[in-house]
Amino acid sequence: MDIEIRPCASAEEVRQALTPIRHYFGLSTPPTEGQAERLTRVLPAERVYAAWEGGRAVGGLGAFSFHLTVPGGRVPAAGITVAGVLPTHRRRGVLRAMMRGLLDACRLQGEPVAYLWATEDTIYGRFGFGLASFTAEIDLPRERSAFRTPFAAAGRVRLVALDAAEECLATIYHRAAAATPGMFARSSAWWQARILTDPEWRRGTDGDLQCAVLENEGRPSAYALYRMNWAFERGLQTGSVAVIEAVADSPEATAAIWRYLLDIDWMARVRAWRLPLDHPLLLLLAEPRRLGFSLRDGVWVRLLDVKTALSARWYHALGSVVIEVIDEFCPWNAGCWRVGSGGIDRTDEAPGLRCDVSALGSVYLGGFSWTQLARALRVQEVSPGATAHADAIFHTEGAPWCPEIF
């Protein structure tokens, strides 16, 4: 039977398109109408592509509409999500066909960049996505959480009900996101449907979602969303604080909100996921090895329109470099591009570097350098010195960070 690839036309079709990804979570039924309605507040039906066979969805793929922070600016971006194909239809080109239709539509509506979190890190390279960041996890015993130097937090922390939290959290997040490549702007609908909702399936063995806000002279400067897993064994605390998201607008506020989290009574450990690679805790703590700091891949980036995407970010005023881009999935990007602070343009000049488009995705947010890619044989240096020159042009401060999986 033929498989038809097309965007969804209704919330009911979105429900069906989500069935393939739910299969891998052990769920055999579509989401409820309420779950689908909450999702379509931030993911309209036409932004979800599905593979249909005999009126049944056998694959699904969607794209949120984001404004992504890049070094020196922001760019419209597609946040790829809910990618899934039923195991009965694997290796038949279903994902490729959905990706073709969705990425073409994203480009046509003015999104020159796509990015995602990969459930499997071998899937998306063939579509031109490159690993663009690392993310970190910590598991810290509270009794080993002392800071290296004495710290007295300015301001006060107060607990805020989730239904009253959006205004002050959004203000803090906006300031942090505007300065952090990898973060994206959040709408009010996103806060309500994705961040400040607390369905039971998200809790696992942990408690309710808690919200703490740090204020200094009445001005919100940091917040933490967290859960507590309360437990005792033979009279000793064995529970933990699970930090969902902690965001601040200054180094002092970062230290203060983490000091609050590390000092919550009755908890034995503090755990957190999706932290930036250069998190300040590594240097704040007296015993940083106690963090159990471990890494995994973060977001993956794909440039759908090389000229527009590269033009959206900042470069050092150190001349330019010519990069030959190989792009089989989006061939309009292929060719030589002169990149620098003077602009991004096609050129007939000989290239200094040659790479697959996925390498551009890896350097785009500043998570990796051209030298790192060259050492991994991901970039060919055609002209001696071009790698170091490209590093100087693309140089950024700080690691990219996306605090949530979408």
Active-site annotation holder among 184, 293, 368, 406: 406
Please name the residues in contact with 209: beta carbons below 8 A apart, sequence gap of 6 or more.
Answer: 162, 196, 198, 202, 203, 225, 226, 227, 244
Residue 367 is given by DSSP the state S
Which ranges of 58-115 does DSSP label H, i.e. alpha helix?
94-108
Q: Is 368 a catalytic residue?
A: no
CA distance 370 to 386: 9
| Number of CB atoms found within 10 A of residue 82's CB | 21
Cβ-contact 16, 30 below 8 angstroms: yes
Cα distances (Å, whole numbers) of residue 2 to 23, 50, 148, 222, 285? 22, 13, 64, 53, 59
Q: Is 64 a catalytic residue?
A: no
User: Pseudo-torsion of CA 242, 244, 247, 252, nearest 10°?
Assistant: 0
What does the angle CA 217 – CA 221 – CA 222 come to, to the nearest 5 degrees?
A: 135
Which phi-psi region, left, alpha or beta, contains residue 61 (left: φ > 0; alpha: ψ -120 to 50)? beta
Active-site annotation holder among 66, 124, 134, 260: 124
Tokens of residue 74, six digits:
């922001």
Helices (H) and strands (E) in the chain, counts: 13, 21
**Helix or strand holding residue 226 (H, E):** strand 219-229
Residue from 294, 274, 310 nearest 401 by CA: 274
Largest CA distance in the chain: 74
Neighbour order of strands in the sheet with 48-53: 4-7, 48-53, 56-70, 73-85, 113-117, 299-303, 130-131
Cβ-contact 180, 400 below 8 angstroms: yes
CA distance 244 to 211: 10
Would you please indicate which residues are annotated as catalytic (active-site) residues? Answer: 124, 406
